């Protein structure tokens, strides 16, 4: 097969229109296996008989028979799409050229008129998808419009002429269907209130009928003529369906790919009942869809999500269908579902501060002690975390999301302005900084905002009050607001009189400013860099110098329905959650964690850079002398970008771990506090009292007296 390289080069040279711009003919790799294609980012596939043609990296690869034996490769620079019928394979370039694919050549056959201005004058166009059916080409084309882009579907002759627009809105792609029919995928990508649907289109008459509707966008739609079935992927799950029947689950689509993917991008069905698909990142799948085992068990998760743990569990347990489409349940709804047992989920996902304490105290939560792996993992967590997850000796919750949420400080900026001055540790220190800023620093640093807390004076007062409530939290003791420390800081906050922003221009100017200290952190763990400025975590200020800081925690957990019939499966799922924690979550929860790790984004970027470097080095081998310097400079720049990722791309660095260990002992997880959590009704009542004070309806003294009265009432209600 290697002898064909010279012939391929000849083909490239005799089609200058198609292969223009190629400086030299590098030999094409004719021995690429099917498995190796996953490293080449496939962009389009087509089938002819039982052969598969894959377009990737400016080449088209042919694989023959059920074993996908390499059967040839053709240079295909500029080609973006492949499409086939029962006896024809066509290739399409970005500019609209149509080529018939022969044994070892591409023969120019015509041009898509809709991409060349014949039918849409002066419009910027982009070919989205193309298929062949009934002796016609059907092309979904993105067209520039006043409000962005719109997609239209065109029918045209096989040479690209005589284009007719299909008068059906929101068409995104198509595939061949029953004889004389086309299956159209309809989806408004800008309006999710419009349900995605498959529509059967009769080519001769233009009549249509709705075949299926989806609850989520679908992809990888292909028609298997032998069984009169449509195969597709939606929200990571594969389905098979006949028109007029309910779609049948074929299990999790992601488990069929090498690597973690979400949905199918493009797919074909071959006569031998193989379903060949490409994921959005170019991974290939080849499965016998009719031999897949149907799920034997169903695990229901209220408020669930298709995350890394979900995909890992599905891959290891193809006989279990995990239903995460059930809506999130409140604590009251959970209690009702558990008691009635009607369509009750097996697992619930909830915020630790939204009714969890009541469910735990009333013994509505199932024990997770049946999993030694879960028990062992939790015993490694910080003591505060363990205390939140256990009910006596029973483990009754397991984390999904955990992060310490300290303030942040731009250390680079701080050193530039204040040198070695100590960071503010008390609210008194903080207001000293705010009060001196206009006179001492504002003129020299107009691009800097000293403190970011999310709004005007009202927002500052509310933020301080929430911080005070967290610091004052002690289990079994009501909060007292009427203290000199709290009143003094609120008075200083009121004196700032920070106005709100009334115009978009004011908001844009504020967003563009650099923030010295931020109450609401952007990161989840340790140190991060913003344009090479070092941002570090900072313990929230305290009201009394002798007090310990109170660092809040974001905490979302799974809890088990004690009446579930699938307890063993649910525990296995939670073990998949345990194994799927990212490094920053492990470092945040596990007291003795010492491992460093690059971020997922940095790891992916480094992989892409390594691939790009290898490509450039290969180009360098065949480059003309005048092009070599430019290629060498490009390679040097790629190495610099790679070094940058290793310097700034850590999710967990040694420095971050060291800083985190100074903050973690101060984490506060007020599980049973009615004044904590986004949905705290008690805190909303406190906010109402504060609003009256801010509107000058009552004095600060009256305000704190009313707040204490409300806090005492809430304490008594919760005690009962």
Q: Band of the pLDDT at 287, cuts 50, 70, 90?
A: confident
Confidence of residue 150 (pLDDT cuts 50, 70, 90): confident
Give the angle subtended at the CA of 170 by the CAs of 166 and 172, to the nearest 5°: 85
Question: What pLDDT, on the 0 to 100 scale, is given for residue 91?
Answer: 95
Reference 135, options 155, 118, 112; nearest CA is: 155
Structure tokens at 51: 């052969």
**Residue 7 near residue 104 (C-beta atoms within 8 A):** yes
Token pair belonging to 30: 């004719």
Two structure tokens written together for 345? 């989920």
Scanning the structure block, which residue is given the tokens 């490694």?
A: 380
The CB density around residue 205, as the number of other CB atoms within 10 Å, is 8
**Residue 3: predicted pLDDT:** 38
Helix (H, G, I), strand (E, B) or coil at 604: helix
pLDDT at 293 over 80: no
Task: Specify the pLDDT at position 20.
Answer: 32
The residue among 369 and 67 whose pLDDT is bigger is 369
Tell which wins on pLDDT, 201 or 319.
201
138-148 pLDDT, tens digit each:
998 888 766 66
What residues form DSSP beta bridges with 657? Answer: none
Largest CA distance in the chain: 92
The terminus-to-terminus CA distance of the chain in angstroms comes to: 82
The residue with greater pLDDT, 652 or 717, is 652
Indicate whether 38 pLDDT > 90: no
Sorted by sequence, the CB contacts under 8 Å of residue 29 that are 6+ apart come out as 73
Burial (CB count <10 Å: 0-12, 13-18, 19+), residue 600 = middle
Average pLDDT of the residues in 69-98: 90
Tokens 């074909």 correspond to 268
Please provide the DSSP assignment of 183-250 as one string: EEEE--TT-TTS--EEEEEETTT--EEEEEE-SS-EEEEEEETTTTEEEEEETTEEEEE-TTS--EEE
Residue 579 in this model has a pLDDT that exceeds 90: yes
Q: Provide the pLDDT for residue 23.
A: 31
Cβ neighbours around 533 below 10 Å, total? 13
213-231 residue pLDDT tens: 876 667 888 999 888 989 8
Count CB neighbours of 627 within 10 A: 14
Dist CA 648 CA 635 (whole Å): 20
DSSP string covering 470-505, please? Answer: HHH-BTTB------HHHHHHHHHHHHH------SHH
d(CA 651, CA 595): 11
Q: Which of 499, 433, 489, 450 is nearest to 466 (CA)?
A: 489
Question: 69 to each of 62, 90, 453, 697, how far by Cα in Å?
Answer: 8, 21, 62, 82
Across 132-154, average pLDDT: 83
- Helices 700-719 and 681-694: crossing angle in degrees, nearest 10, is 170
Judged against a pLDDT cut of 50, whether residue 186 lies above it is answered with yes
Which pLDDT tens digit goes with each residue over 369-420? 999 999 999 999 999 999 999 999 999 999 999 999 999 999 999 999 999 9
Distances (CA, A) of 64 to 34, 48, 49, 73, 88: 10, 10, 9, 12, 16
Neighbours of 489 (CB within 10 A): 22
Question: By mean pLDDT, which of 192-206, 240-254, 588-602 is the weakest?
Answer: 240-254
- Rounded-to-integer distance, Cα 278 and Cα 286, Å: 9
Confidence of residue 16 (pLDDT cuts 50, 70, 90): very low
Query: Phi first, then psi: what are they for 640, rounded to 5°?
Result: -65, -45
The total of other beta-carbon atoms located within 10 Å of residue 128's CB is 18
Q: Say what the pLDDT of residue 122 is.
A: 42
- Is residue 13's pLDDT more than 60? no
Is the pLDDT at 260 greater than 50, yes or no?
A: no
pLDDT digits (tens, 9 = 90+) for 377-388: 999 999 999 999
H runs (alpha helix) in 341-442 = 356-361, 372-378, 383-389, 411-418, 427-440
Residue pLDDT, tens place only, 447-499: 999 988 777 888 899 999 999 999 998 877 889 999 999 999 999 999 987 66
Strand order in the sheet with 97-101: 79-84, 89-93, 97-101, 106-111
Taking the C-alpha atoms of 542, 544, 549 and 552 in order, what is their torsion angle to the nearest 10 degrees? -50
Q: Is 426 or 234 the better-scoring residue by pLDDT?
A: 426
**How do residues 434-455 score in pLDDT, each as one tens digit?**
999 999 999 999 999 998 877 7
Separation between Cα atoms, residue 232 and residue 298, nearest integer Å? 21
Quote the percentage of the chain above a pLDDT of 70.
87
* pLDDT at residue 113 in the model: 83
With tokens 């019939």, the residue in question is: 565
Q: What SS3 state is found at 564?
A: coil
Rounded distance between C-alpha atoms, residue 487 and residue 455, angstroms = 21
User: Which phi and psi angles does 578 have, rounded to 5°?
Assistant: -55, -45
- From 100-114, 288-302, 540-554, the region with the lowest mean pLDDT: 288-302
Higher pLDDT residue, 327 or 699?
Answer: 699
Residue with tokens 């915020």: 351
> Which single residue is written with the structure tokens 């009750």?
344
**Which among 605, 608, 606, 628 has a CA at the least distance from the CA of 617?**
628
Residue 384, φ and ψ in degrees, nearest 5: -60, -35
Dihedral, 149, 154, 159, 161 alpha carbons, nearest 10: -90
Confidence of residue 26 (pLDDT cuts 50, 70, 90): very low
3-state DSSP helix/strand/coil % of the chain, to nearest 5: 35, 30, 35
Q: Over 50: is that where the pLDDT of 8 sits?
A: no
Mean pLDDT, residues 267-296: 78
Average model confidence (pLDDT) across the chain: 85
Model confidence, pTM: 0.64
User: What is the rounded CA–CA span in Å between residue 286 and residue 268?
Assistant: 10
pLDDT confidence tier of residue 118, bands split at 50, 70 and 90:
very low
b/e sequence 555-589, b meaning 16+ C-beta within 10 Å: bbbbbbbeebebbebbbbbbbbbbebbbbbbbbbb
How far does Cα 186 stand from its chain's mean position? Answer: 24
Q: How confident is the model at residue 237 (pLDDT cuts 50, 70, 90)?
A: low
Pairing of strands 407-410, 533-538: antiparallel
What is the C-alpha to C-alpha distance for residues 156 and 203, in angstroms, rounded to an integer? Answer: 11
Confidence tier at 67 by pLDDT (50, 70, 90): confident
- pLDDT of 720 reads 62
Confidence bin at 622 (pLDDT 50/70/90): confident
pLDDT at 10 over 70: no
84-108 exposure pattern, b = at least 16 Cβ within 10 A, e = fewer: bbeeebbbbbeebbbbebeeebbee
In 3D, which of 284, 266, 263 has the Cα closest to residue 68?
Answer: 284
Per-residue confidence band for 52, with pLDDT thresholds at 50, 70 and 90: very high
Backbone angles phi, psi at 479, to 5 degrees: -75, 140
Locate all alpha helices (DSSP H) within 419-566, ordered by sequence.
427-440, 457-472, 484-496, 504-512
At 521, the pLDDT band (50, 70, 90 cuts) reads low
Instruction: Give the mean model confidence (pLDDT) for residues 19-42.
Output: 64
> Could you tell me how many residues make up the chain?
720
Q: Using DSSP bridges, classify how beta strands 125-133 and 106-111 pair: parallel, antiparallel or unpaired.
A: unpaired
Q: What pLDDT, on the 0 to 100 scale, is given for residue 464?
A: 94
Determine the Cα–Cα distance for residues 465 and 472; give it in Å rounded to an integer.
10
Q: Which of 391, 361, 365 is nearest to 378 (CA)?
A: 391
Q: How many H-runs (helices) and E-runs (strands) does the chain carry?
A: 19, 37
pLDDT higher than 70, residue 24: no
Confidence category of residue 258, pLDDT binned at 50, 70, 90:
very low
């Amino acid at each position: 097969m290697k002898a064909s390289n010279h012939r391929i080069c000849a083909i490239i040279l005799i089609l200058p229109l198609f292969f223009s711009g190629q400086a030299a003919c590098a030999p094409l790799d004719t021995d690429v296996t099917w498995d190796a294609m996953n490293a080449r980012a496939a962009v389009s596939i087509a089938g002819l008989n039982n052969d598969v043609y894959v377009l990737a990296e400016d080449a088209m690869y042919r694989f023959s028979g059920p074993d996908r034996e390499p059967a040839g490769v053709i240079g295909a620079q500029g080609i973006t799409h492949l499409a086939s019928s029962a006896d024809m394979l066509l290739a399409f370039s970005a500019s609209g050229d149509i080529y018939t694919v022969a044994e070892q050549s591409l023969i120019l056959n015509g041009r898509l008129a809709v991409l060349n201005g014949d039918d849409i004058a002066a419009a910027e166009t982009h070919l989205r998808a193309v298929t062949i059916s009934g002796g016609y080409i059907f092309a979904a084309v993105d067209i520039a419009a006043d409000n962005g882009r719109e997609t239209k579907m065109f029918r045209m002759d096989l040479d690209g002429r005589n284009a007719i627009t299909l008068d059906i809105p929101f068409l995104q792609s198509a595939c061949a269907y029953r004889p004389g029919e086309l299956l159209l995928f309809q989806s408004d990508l800008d309006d999710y209130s419009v349900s995605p649907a498959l529509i059967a289109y009769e080519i001769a008459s233009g009549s249509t009928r709705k075949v299926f509707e989806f609850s989520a966008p679908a992809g990888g739609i292909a028609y298997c003529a032998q069984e009169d079935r449509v195969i597709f992927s939606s929200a990571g799950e594969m389905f098979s369906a006949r028109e007029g029947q309910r779609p049948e689950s074929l299990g999790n689509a992601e488990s069929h790919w090498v690597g973690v993917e979400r949905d199918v991008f493009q797919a074909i069905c071959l006569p031998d009942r193989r379903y060949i698909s490409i994921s959005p990142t170019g991974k290939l799948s080849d499965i016998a869809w009719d031999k897949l085992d149907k799920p034997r068990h169903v695990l229901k998760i209220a408020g669930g999500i298709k995350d890394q743990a979900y995909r890992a569990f599905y891959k290891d347990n193809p006989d279990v269908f995990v239903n995460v489409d059930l809506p999130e349940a409140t604590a009251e709804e959970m209690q009702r579902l558990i008691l009635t047992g009607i369509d009750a989920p097996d697992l619930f996902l909830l915020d630790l501060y939204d009714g969890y304490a009541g469910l735990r105290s009333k013994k509505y939560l199932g024990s997770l002690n049946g999993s030694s792996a879960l028990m062992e993992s939790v015993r490694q967590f910080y003591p505060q975390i363990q205390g939140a997850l256990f009910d006596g000796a029973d483990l009754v919750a397991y984390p999904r999301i955990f992060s310490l949420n300290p303030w942040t400080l731009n250390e680079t900026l701080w050193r530039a302005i204040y040198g070695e001055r100590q960071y503010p540790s008390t609210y008194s220190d903080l207001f000293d900084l705010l009060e001196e800023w206009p006179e001492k620093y504002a003129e020299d640093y107009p691009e800097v905002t000293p403190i970011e807390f999310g709004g005007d004076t009202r927002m500052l007062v509310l933020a301080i009050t929430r911080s005070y409530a967290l610091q004052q939290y002690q289990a079994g003791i009501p909060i007292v607001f009427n203290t000199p420390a709290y009143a003094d800081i609120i008075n200083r906050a009121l004196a700032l009189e920070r106005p709100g922003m009334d115009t978009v221009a004011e908001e844009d100017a504020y967003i563009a400013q650099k923030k010295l200290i931020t109450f609401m952190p952007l990161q989840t763990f340790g140190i991060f860099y913003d344009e090479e400025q070092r941002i570090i975590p900072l313990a929230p200020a305290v009201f009394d110098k002798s007090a310990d800081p109170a660092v809040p925690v974001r905490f979302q957990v799974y809890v088990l329905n004690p009446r579930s019939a699938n307890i063993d499966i649910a525990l296995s799922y939670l073990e998949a959650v345990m194994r799927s924690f990212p490094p920053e979550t492990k470092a945040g929860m596990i007291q003795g964690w010492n491992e460093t790790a690059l971020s997922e984004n940095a790891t992916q970027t480094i992989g892409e850079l390594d691939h790009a470097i290898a490509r450039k080095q290969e180009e360098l081998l065949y480059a003309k002398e005048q092009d070599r310097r430019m290629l060498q400079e490009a390679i040097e720049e790629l190495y610099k970008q790679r070094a940058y990722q290793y310097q700034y791309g850590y999710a967990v660095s040694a420095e971050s771990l060291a800083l985190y260990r100074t903050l973690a002992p101060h984490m506060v997880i007020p599980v049973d506090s009615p004044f904590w959590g986004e949905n705290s009704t008690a805190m909303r009542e406190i906010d109402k009292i504060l609003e009256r004070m801010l509107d000058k309806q009552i004095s600060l003294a009256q305000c704190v007296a009313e707040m204490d009265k409300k806090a005492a009432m809430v304490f008594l209600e919760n005690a009962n």
